Structure 1
Amino acid sequence: MENKKQMINVETGKQKKKTVSIVVLTVLVLLSLSLLALYIRHSSSDSRDGNGADRSGALNTITPTVTPEPTGAPYPTEIPAEEPSVTPEPSPTATPAPKPEFQPVRALYLKPESFQNPTTLDHYIDLANRTEINAYVIDIKSDWGTITYRSEIEDVRAAKACRDDIDIREIIKKFHDNNIRVIGRVVTFKDSVITKYKPELAIHHDGKLFDQSGNGSGVYWLDATRKESWDYILAIVREAIDFGFDEIQFDYVRFPETSLYKYELANLEEGKERHEYIEEFLAYIRKNVPEGTILSADIFGMPLISSKDYGEIGQTLESIGWNLDYISPMIYPSHFANSAPRGSMANGVGQVINGIKFTHPDLYPYEVVYNTLMVGKRRIESVDGYNVKCRPYIQGFTADYLPEGYWKKYGVEEYRAQIQAVYDAGYEEWIFWNARNNYVEEAFLPEGQ
């Protein structure tokens, strides 16, 4: 009996093990078939060839359903859903980003090395971010006539008149990213590069290029009576506008002083004054640049206090601004006549400004700037419909080349005195000039003050 029971139990155990084995085998088969089906679907949806080229566009997204194991058993690794590739949409037409809204200009002039060098560029951007400075004047065309960045103008490239290693767009973008206005200075008719490549555009004397240096250094000028000279400048201006400059500022927009030099002009008409050529040039530029382009011009300080065009340079206060948004008179106290018997700017008498005689003008920065602006302001306002604004250049350097006793060191006090003179004269914009960019940076107020 005992043996029979043992035989039955053994048989029953064998049957149970067989049943369990069949169940396990069935589950494994079903899981294998499920995984195989998923693999086939996955493989058939991949349309990339052996070189990785996509031939059909977007792929189907596969999210496999996984039946969870009983509680307590580990989950199998899921087959990850393949990331869909997206057929690229057509690129939209680029819309130019709107330019920042700029405050009244409080600017410094930067020489080419100061904005072409990344380290010094970062310094001046930081200065603007920390202080009241919110704009910089940078050279488009330098005093020598060189374009300070890579240009695509045919004549510029043929004359080797530009730098090929500077992308001005990147520099302008960096300024704009910091809400800094970029004013492009164009040394207009003074040009020692294109005049050698195209001498027919230059001022001549005795059948040769007129050399202002007088010592053979080759300081040449474009002839402002020639329309071909205007067209060369216009091409540079148009390209600069396309590159993103916020304003075009003309410097040396004049003739060389006839009181100092002798030369001949190609198209000087009898009875026509030189300032008319300069004004016609500015009207020509205005007509041929996009509407809304801001144009300005640097002029000497003397035209503000004298109605006579001394030296016949072609700058007359009451008429030069008809096609300009701004004039920037260079009101440097050191540049007015002093009473020294000899030396730089000496005439033995001094300078009368607004009825006040200044024998040592460089020692009185506030008084010289204020009174010069007041005289010019009255004259500008006396012309009906004359809406040109005034944004003066003021002195950011020490004129230690003047006769002894006729100059002083320009520091914080002298900087602030000139700025206050601008404000007291009823103006709110100014630019400091220092050719070497050795500015007294402590003079500029913290941002927001």
Structure 2
Amino acid sequence: MVVQASRSRRAVPLLIGLLVALAVAAPLGIRALSAADPVLSGVDEGATVTTDAVRALGVSAPEGHDLDEVQVLLDGKPAQTRRDGDRLLLADPVLPDGEHSVSARVPARMMPDREATLTFTVDGTAPELAVEPVAVSDPRKPFTLKGKAIGATALTADDQPVPLADDGAFSVQFPKAPARVQLSARDDAGNSAKQEYAVPVRHPGMKAVHMTAMAWTSDALREPVLRMAREGRINTIQLDIKDESGEVGYQSQVPLAREIGATRGHYDAKAVVDQLHREGIRVVGRLVAFRDPILAKASWAAGKTDRVIQTADGKPWSGGYGDFAFTNFANPEVVAYNTDLATEAADIGFDDVLYDYIRRPEGALAQMKIPGLQGTPEQSITAFLAKSRDAVRDRGAFLGASVFGIAASRPGPVAQDIPMMAQHVDYLAPMVYPSHWGPGEYGVAQPESQPYDITARSVAEFVAKSKDSGTQVIPWLQAFSLRKSYGPAEVQAQIQASKDNGASSFLLWNASCRYESAGLPPAP
């Protein structure tokens, strides 16, 4: 008994020491010796992120525990999750803007739960881009684009970084006005906003006359036109780049033009443009696009028949224009050829490139073969204009398109959809010659004898059809005689009718390039 008592007394200190050790280990040693806490990954602590970025937030189980044991809380409430390999992801992490928390917990017996918490802020509001619209009247002059990227911390214009003020204001300078600018703004959360900004332009207007390349070589034809310009009767001369025969009036350096023998030396394009500019005269280059016998014939001979519009049985389409008349507006090589001529002219210094024959030939579409056509002819022609305008405008020139007078009301026969085309040119030039209308058109009994009436009504429809695009209407007016003699009274009637209906600019057409009878007044 004594021995037993002695042993009991010796055991008490040992028991007390063990209890003390356990008491200390409970908050410290056991937690340290057991498995680690759950792991939250994919989003940094305290980060500001988009709601989409929360989809990357994952929960991993502590070592020694199964993923099924992990409880996930979103803002303190049980969250719906889905398994992705060895992680749990939030099942539908569409969260409102503001601060949020995700906790992962593993319940434990006889010891504290294992838990980890992550806090973050959701910002799902994209920056707002606002550009100050400033119409450009001279695309070759320096251009400054101003605006605000509200809520953004970074901005690029055409992939180049742009400094931002504290309020998001920005200003970007260009050596000349581009056709369009690609803006991209981001904030710290990763939200982004993109905008393709089409730089608005406003053609300065013109009073112009048509001149062929051959006419320019004739003193008898050229000098009267120059005199009209010097007297202020006109302010613009339209000079052919490529005409209906397919001839390029100067020694173009476009490879295909030289390969097919289309270039001529009728005038020195750079010298003429520079001369006219020195005298304060604008120069419009008329470029006949798809009526091109030289390209069509050369392409057919070379076996590149897809460049040519054909009959249903595979022969070159004539349609009264000759054996080889119309090239294929749906062919990439034809498109590139005309675009290359247009951009070359803009580089030379032509103020405008004005397409003509920017259409399909007349005739039943079912009887034509148009290799490679995707969609409708109207869509293909409009796509060509869109591509051309960007290329021409990037070189500082305006782009116009000559269109049939009937196209405003009947686009199908020539594939000229006026509202669609107006979106991709700086101006439309409808050919509203009174002599080309039949009796009764627009309710006018005898259009050729009523130049004011027919011009007023046809121009008004073009203005109405293109008004939503912001593009201008600059009509071709008749300065020649056909069945009825046309002199100053008839020409002036057309000019006044156009002006009265929203088209104050004009181009005069006379195939012989003689304008003495136009009756244009000198400048005051």
Q: Is TM-score (shorter-chain normalized) higher than 0.5?
A: yes
Q: Give the counterpart of 2:438 among 330, 334, 337.
A: 337
**Partners in 1 of 2:273 and 2:424 — Cα distance?**
25
Matched AA of 2:401: A
SS of structure 2 residue aligned to 1:248: strand
Q: 1:358 and 2:432 equivalent?
A: no
Give the partner amino acid of 1:255.
R
Q: Which residue of 376, 382, 387 maps to 1:273?
A: 376
CA distance in 2, matches of 1:319, 1:97: 29
- Code of the residue aligned with 1:229 in structure 2: it is V
Residue 357 of structure 2 is aligned to residue 256 of structure 1: no
Q: Distance in 2 between matches of 1:289 and 1:179?
A: 22
**Secondary structure in 1 matching 2:209:** strand
Opposite residue 293 of structure 1, the aligned amino acid is A
Amino acid at match of 1:213: G
Q: Which amino acid aligns with 1:376?
A: F
Residue by residue, what CA displacement relative to the aligned partner does 1:247-283 show, whole Å, maximum 9, x if unpaired?
A: 00000000001249932110234xx222101101111
| Aligned partner letter, 1:256 | P
Distance 1:126 1:102 in 2: 24
CA distance in 1, matches of 2:391, 2:207: 28
Offset, 1:397: 0.9
Match of 2:496 among 420, 427, 435: 420
Q: CA deviation at 1:442?
A: 5.6
Contact preservation (8 Å) 2:239, 2:283: yes
Counterpart of 1:146 in structure 2 is 247
Question: Structure 1 pair 210/442, CA: closer, same or farther in 2 (3 Å)?
Answer: closer
SS of 2:293's equivalent in the other structure is coil
Counterpart in the other structure of 2:523: 447
**Once the 2 structures are TM-superposed, how far is the Cα of residue 133 of structure 1 from its aligned partner?**
0.6
Code of the residue aligned with 1:419 in structure 2: it is: I
Once the 2 structures are TM-superposed, how far is the Cα of residue 198 of structure 1 from its aligned partner? 1.8
Shift of 1:168: 1.3
Describe how 1:87-126 pairs up with structure 2 within 5 A.
Answer: 104-118=205-219, 120-126=221-227
CA contact (8 A) 1:129 1:447 kept: no
| Distance apart, 1:147 and its partner CA | 0.3
Opposite residue 383 of structure 2, the aligned amino acid is E
**Could you tell me which residue of structure 2 aligns to residue 228 of structure 1?**
333
* Corresponding residue for residue 202 of structure 1: 308
SS of aligned partner of 1:184: strand
| Aligned equivalents of 1:359, 1:431: Cα separation in 2 | 25
What root-mean-square deviation, in Å, do the aligned CA atoms of Structure 1 and Structure 2 show? 2.4
Mean Cα displacement is larger for which, 390-399 or 253-262? Answer: 253-262
Question: 1:253, 1:278 within 8 Å by CA — same for their partners in 2?
Answer: yes
The aligned amino acid for 1:274 is P
Deviations 1:177-219 (A, max 9, x none): 21111000000000000122222211122233222337xx434
Q: Which residue of 2 aligns with 1:314?
A: 415
Kindly indicate whether residue 506 of structure 2 is the aligned counterpart of residue 430 of structure 1. Answer: yes
Unaligned runs of 5+ in 1: 1-95, 339-349, 401-407
- After TM superposition, the structure 1 = structure 2 runs for residues 73-88 of structure 1, keeping only pairs within 5 Å, are none
The whole-number CA distance in structure 1 between the counterparts of 2:358 and 2:393 is 21
Q: Does 1:186 align with 2:287?
A: yes
Contact 1:277 1:314 in 2 (8 A): no
- Compared CA separation, residues 97 and 376, structure 1 to 2 (3 A): closer
Q: Which residue of 2 aligns with 1:48?
A: none
Would the aligned equivalents of 2:309 and 2:328 in 1 still touch at CA under 8 Å?
Answer: yes
> Given residue 402 of structure 2, which amino acid in structure 1 is its aligned partner?
D
Tell me the equivalent position of 1:377: 463
- Structure 2, unaligned runs of 5 or more: 1-139, 143-175, 177-201
More relative contact order in 1 or in 2 (CA 8 Å, sep 6+)?
A: 1
Aligned pair 1:301/2:405, yes or no?
yes
**Residue 60 of structure 2 aligns with which residue?**
none
% identical aligned pairs: 28
Instruction: Give 1:165-176 correspondences, 5 Å limit.
Output: 166-176=267-277
Task: Read off the aligned partner of 1:301 and give its amino acid letter.
Answer: G
Matching residue within 311, 322, 342 for 1:237: 342
Instruction: Provide, for residues 90-118 of structure 1, a one-character-per-residue CA deviation record: whole Å limited to 9, x for no partner.
Output: xxxxxx9999x996300111122221335
Q: Secondary structure at the match of 1:208?
A: coil
Shift of 1:310: 3.5
Partner Cα separation in structure 2 for residue 281 and residue 102 of structure 1:
21
Contact 1:131 1:444 in 2 (8 A): no
Judged with a 3 Å threshold, the aligned counterparts in structure 2 of structure 1 residues 442 and 434 are, in CA distance, closer, same or farther, namely closer
| Structure 2 equivalent of residue 409 of structure 1 | 485
Measured against aligned partners, the alpha-carbon deviations of 1:354-392 in whole angstroms (never above 9, x if no partner) come to: xxx2221100001111111222222323x3xx1111101
CA distance in 2, matches of 1:180, 1:278: 31
1:126–1:103 distance in 2 versus 1, CA, 3 Å? farther
Distance in 2, Cα, partners of 1:261 & 1:431: 35
How far apart are the structure 2 equivalents of 1:361 and 1:442? 19
Letter of the 2:474 counterpart: R
Residue 127 of structure 1 deviates from its aligned partner by: 1.6
CA pair 259-126 structure 1, distance change in 2 beyond 3 A = same
Higher strand share: 2
Contact 1:103/1:134, CA 8 A, preserved across alignment: no
Aligned counterparts of 2:288 and 2:463: Cα–Cα separation in 1? 26
Per the alignment, residue 390 of structure 1 pairs with: 473
